[in-house]
Amino acid sequence: MSAQMAGVTRKPIAKLRSMGGGWLEKVCLGLLVLFVLVALFAPWLSPQDPTYGELGTGLVGPGADHWLGTDQGGHDTFSALIEGSRTSLAGPLLVVLVSTVAGIAIGLFAAWRGGWVDTVLGRLLDVVFAFPALLVAILAVAVFGKGMTAPVIAMSVAYMPYTARLVRGLAMQEQARPYIAAYRVQGHSALYVAVRRLLPNIGPTVLAQSSVNFGYALLDLAALSFLGLGVQAPTPDWGAMINQSQAAVLRGQPLSAVVPAVAVVVVVVAFNIVGENVGDRLAGRKT
């Protein structure tokens, strides 16, 4: 009985269904699930080794051997797309994880302490806001060298203020509600009330923002790879694939660039639509 009383019974599927949404959102959600599954099982799904280039079969069109053709170096585009989904999705995932956790911590702290702490943190966030994410990432690469690590760290920092601002605003609003005061009056510690009671009440809205951030982070990281500053060959990556296909595009064979570009666009748009819709709905429900 106590477990029943204490716990909220949740059936995940039913809950998901109750979230509703239009057909567009459902399609987007389906696409995202598909991409995540592909990334998880990439080594078993890709028909060929995307790092193996056959010089004789460069820029072959789509066919039975190569479903989406090959690039200039004879790498199989379909396999590269599948294997590339791992790095292309893992990078933004890390960025979103780090920036969300840091943003929540800073936003919550600023809202809870208020006063000068809030003012100082607010100004610091403004400063970070002033630097475009891509610029910070390029600077980081210049200092720490090429690869994934430096851009991911730099972009985590650059994306953090978006979450921190949102969390601060939501927390301020939520804090004014008497149920939070009631928890304090009952004798719960400030940390407990802020993290265990207030945060879950604003969590869904924050997650919606994070999923929108994911799309932008993916775009930024792909751009870095395209510039040759991110993921390095031979590791497959969508941004890097576009970069390597530049010459092919100039020769009128754009397929090996179009395929990863479409993948980037589809994932970014899908994340935006799902994130915005969930956020809108939660915002509507809150009032």
Nearest residue (CB) to other proteins, 4 versus 13: 4
CB of 117 to other proteins, least distance (A): 17
Q: Is residue 50 exposed (0-12), middle (13-18) or buried (19+ Cβ within 10 Å)?
A: buried
21: left (phi over 0), alpha (psi -120 to 50) or beta: left
Q: Which stretch binds other proteins (CB under 8 A): 18-26, 116-124, 171-179, 253-261?
A: 171-179
Q: Which stretch binds other proteins (CB under 8 A): 10-18, 28-36, 179-187, 241-249?
A: 179-187
Q: Kindly state whether residue 187 participates in binding other proteins, applying the rule CB under 8 A.
A: yes
Nearest residue (CB) to other proteins, 199 versus 268: 199
Q: Kindly state whether residue 181 participates in binding other proteins, applying the rule CB under 8 A.
A: yes
Q: Amino acid letter at 153?
A: I
Q: Which stretch binds other proteins (CB under 8 A): 36-44, 175-183, 243-251, 271-279?
A: 175-183
Q: Kindly state whether residue 135 participates in binding other proteins, applying the rule CB under 8 A.
A: no
User: First CA to last CA across the chain, in angstroms?
Assistant: 32
Q: Which stretch binds other proteins (CB under 8 A): 142-150, 180-188, 221-229, 235-243?
A: 180-188
d(CA 206, CA 185): 27
Q: Kindly state whether residue 188 participates in binding other proteins, applying the rule CB under 8 A.
A: yes
Residue 55 has what DSSP assignment?
Answer: G
d(CA 112, CA 190): 8
Q: Kindly state whether residue 283 participates in binding other proteins, applying the rule CB under 8 A.
A: no
Nearest residue (CB) to other proteins, 86 versus 188: 188
Contact between residue 226 and residue 214 where contact means Cβ atoms under 8 Å apart = no
Among 16, 27, 117, 182, binds other proteins (CB under 8 A): 182
Secondary element (H or E) of residue 248: helix 246-250
Nearest residue (CB) to other proteins, 56 versus 178: 178
Among 144, 177, 232, 280, binds other proteins (CB under 8 A): 177
Among 98, 101, 128, 184, binds other proteins (CB under 8 A): 184
Nearest residue (CB) to other proteins, 6 versus 130: 6
Nearest residue (CB) to other proteins, 1 versus 127: 1
Q: Kindly state whether residue 143 participates in binding other proteins, applying the rule CB under 8 A.
A: no
Among 179, 247, 265, 283, binds other proteins (CB under 8 A): 179
CB of 221 to other proteins, least distance (A): 35
Q: Kindly state whether residue 113 participates in binding other proteins, applying the rule CB under 8 A.
A: no
DSSP string, 72-123: TT--BHHHHHHHHHHHHHHHHHHHHHHHHHHHHHHHHHHHHH-HHHHHHHHH
CB count within 10 Å of CB 78 equals 19
Residue 202's alpha-carbon distances to 34, 124, 175, 275, in angstroms, are 28, 23, 11, 15
| Alpha helical stretches, state H, 130-237 | 133-144, 149-175, 178-186, 190-192, 199-226
Q: Amino acid letter at 209?
A: Q
Using CB under 8 A as the binding criterion, the count of chain residues that bind other proteins stands at 22
> Is 70 strand, coil or helix?
strand
> What are the residues binding other proteins (CB under 8 A)?
1-2, 4-8, 177-179, 181-189, 197, 200-201
